[in-house]
Structure 1
Amino acid sequence: MMTGSAGQLKKTIHIVAGGPEPLIPDLSENKNENIVWIGVDRGVQTIMRAGLYPDLAVGDFDSISQEEWEKIEREVASLRRFKPEKDETDMELAIMWALEMNASTVKVFGGTGGRLDHFMANALMLAKFKQVHPDIHFEMIDVQNNLSVYLPGSYEIKQDRKKFVSFIPVFSDVSGVTLEGFKYPLNHHYVPVGSSLCISNELIQETGHFSFEKGILMMIRSKD
């Protein structure tokens, strides 16, 4: 694992929210990896059904029964239960805890599907945290999509089963966008917020590159 400047181990943290389970990849594939697991509300039960052990359960747990809560109390070492009337969402509280734990990578599962307000809030929240913590990789994953956030710079991307690649400006327009190795290349292009210019592109080489000079880009890799 990576080591931080203060000598603390950098952690890979997976956060599982209470989104529709059919959209959540098989979490048990990560069983033998050194990952810290956080369950958000009903996401705690999703983790346990995958044969994994949550390191933390966080949320108001207003959507579970008393019997389910008692099981969580028995099986999860660390609990943070909040009143439903609060300023932060359960997901935001989970990410804040992950940052306290010196995360290098934060991956969110169960944050898509179902309610659009939850999905939009989660996606924009990742962009907000990326602004403040540029060295942390933030990603939201379901069976059909991978969503990640990037600050200005140059990046490499490889082909995988999610063949469609979309780039979406977040919060403000993005300038200097260059795409190499793509079906629809760009060279130092200006992409305003709300533009569909960079939607549903595809890699035509095994490895491609993208770069930009100003703004925040959300990259979504998808499959039909």
Structure 2
Amino acid sequence: MTEFNLLVGGPVSRWPLNLAEQTQVPWIAADRGALRLLRIGITPQLAVGDFDSLSKAELATLQAQVKDIRYAVADKDETDTEMALQLALTEFKATRVTIFGATGGRLDHFLDNLYMLLQPRFLPYCERVRLVDRQNSLRLFLPGTHTIVKEPDKPYLAFGPLTAVTGLTLYDTKYHLTQRNDVHPMMYASNEFIKKSATFSFKSGVVAVIQSKD
């Protein structure tokens, strides 16, 4: 398994408290995320972006410490996060990417980070990607039968069809569903694990699964 962490531009206040300790997995950073990693003692393997939010001194610091920097123009059709994720999945062949800094702050940025996983180029890889912040862990799933493991600090579980979904069945959560069909996005919130794992299935569409805590 080839794992990468990816830090993007969301608020520092939404980071998990132990983010600076997560040094076992190599890091990729989008734009200002690279400088933020350097400031907590982590040198990213790759930095991607137009870096237009950095001062000349900050950019010089980045260039002196990060060996692999991929520059982009400021006026472009894809975000720095999209560019970084594309490199992680295709060039670096990542089998798991955990994205930090993708939630909180501006809602348009959060929705952009969520919806990018539905793009045709990312959708086949969406099950490899996880969005994590201080309270939440979000993954997307494609049709089939899936078993997820409870994260120890997160008591709540939610299932959210992001597209039209058929046959959604929750087998062993606190609240069950059986062959549920939805034609528009919605959220089955505030469910719970009743054991250390939970199994669900569906026949078509894309489902987001969120583990969370207050």
Is this a same-fold pair by TM over 0.5? yes
| One-letter amino acid matched to 1:168 | G
Structure 1 partner of 2:158: 166
CA shift digits 1:45-90 (9 cap, x unpaired): 2222232111111111111211111100000001112121011110
Structure 2 partner of 1:194: 185
Q: Which runs of 4+ in 1 moved over 3 A?
A: none
Answering whether residue 136 of structure 2 is matched by residue 145 of structure 1, we say: yes
| One-letter amino acid matched to 1:163 | P
**Sequence identity percentage:** 39
Q: How does 1:1-16 map to 2 (within 5 A)?
A: 2=1, 11-16=2-7
* In 1: Cα distance, 2:161 partner to 2:72 partner: 34
Answering whether residue 56 of structure 2 is matched by residue 56 of structure 1, we say: no
Structure 1 partner of 2:201: 211
Structure 1 partner of 2:176: 185
Maintained 8 Å contact 1:166/1:220: yes
* In 1: Cα distance, 2:167 partner to 2:189 partner: 17
Q: Which moved more, 1:114-123 or 1:156-165?
A: 156-165
1:39 paired residue among 21, 24, 29: 29
* In 2: Cα distance, 1:72 partner to 1:192 partner: 47
CA shift digits 1:170-201 (9 cap, x unpaired): 2x2111111122121011211332334x1221
Structure 2 partner of 1:119: 110
TM-score, reference length from structure 2:
0.92
* In 2: Cα distance, 1:98 partner to 1:206 partner: 30
What RMSD over aligned residues (CA atoms) do the two structures have, in Å?
Answer: 1.6
| One-letter amino acid matched to 1:166 | A
CA shift digits 1:117-173 (9 cap, x unpaired): 111010111233552336x51111001111111001111123332121111112x21
* In 2: Cα distance, 1:114 partner to 1:72 partner: 24
TM-score, reference length from structure 1:
0.88
Structure 2 partner of 1:221: 211
Structure 1 partner of 2:96: 105
**SS at 1:64 equivalent:** coil
Gaps of 5+ in 1: 3-10
Q: Which moved more, 1:181-190 or 1:72-81?
A: 181-190
2:76 paired residue among 58, 63, 86: 86
Gaps of 5+ in 2: none
* In 2: Cα distance, 1:132 partner to 1:207 partner: 24
* In 1: Cα distance, 2:190 partner to 2:201 partner: 17
Query: Number of paired residues?
Result: 210
**SS at 2:82 equivalent:** helix
* In 1: Cα distance, 2:153 partner to 2:171 partner: 19
